[in-house]
Amino acid sequence: MLKVREMGHKSIQSDPSIMMGKPVIAGTRITVELILEKLAAGETMEQLLEAHPRLTREAVQAALAFAADALRADVIYPTRLLYFSEYQVNHHLAMAVCCLANKVAKISTACCPRWSCSWA
């Protein structure tokens, strides 16, 4: 038998048989994720409560508290994102293919100054 797990807030539960185990408002299939998405999209608390009659103001507040607690966990967030343009990705892919082709053909040549395709 699968066990329903309270998520630190009695209004929030996780059950593998409901919504693939995502945290939900207890007794519903309303996920914490859905509540956050709707609020982030600009929906008001009143609109959210009207759209989901089984939802209460306290449950929405519990979902927000749960999300805040989850973000408080020991997670390392990157301070900068690495960004590669489509050109860079395509260029490096083409160079890798060139080098591989040279290796298969046993040709000693350089495809690009940054790549060393010197297999004998």
Q: Which tens digits make up the pLDDT trace of 9-23?
A: 688 998 889 999 899
Backbone angles phi, psi at 59, to 5 degrees: -65, -40
pLDDT over 70 (residue 105):
no
Domain residue ranges of the chain, discontinuous segments joined by +: 5-71
Span 78-100, pLDDT tens digits = 555 556 666 666 666 666 666 66
Q: How far, CA to CA in Å, does 56 sit from each of 31, 43, 94? A: 13, 15, 56
CA 35 – CA 31 distance, rounded (Å): 7
Sheet holding 24-25, edge to edge: 5-6, 12-14, 24-25
Q: Which fold has domain 5-71?
A: Arc Repressor Mutant, subunit A (1.10.10)
**CA-only gyration radius of the chain, Å:** 26
Q: What is the pLDDT of residue 1?
A: 34
pLDDT for the residue numbered 34: 95
**pTM of the predicted protein model:** 0.57
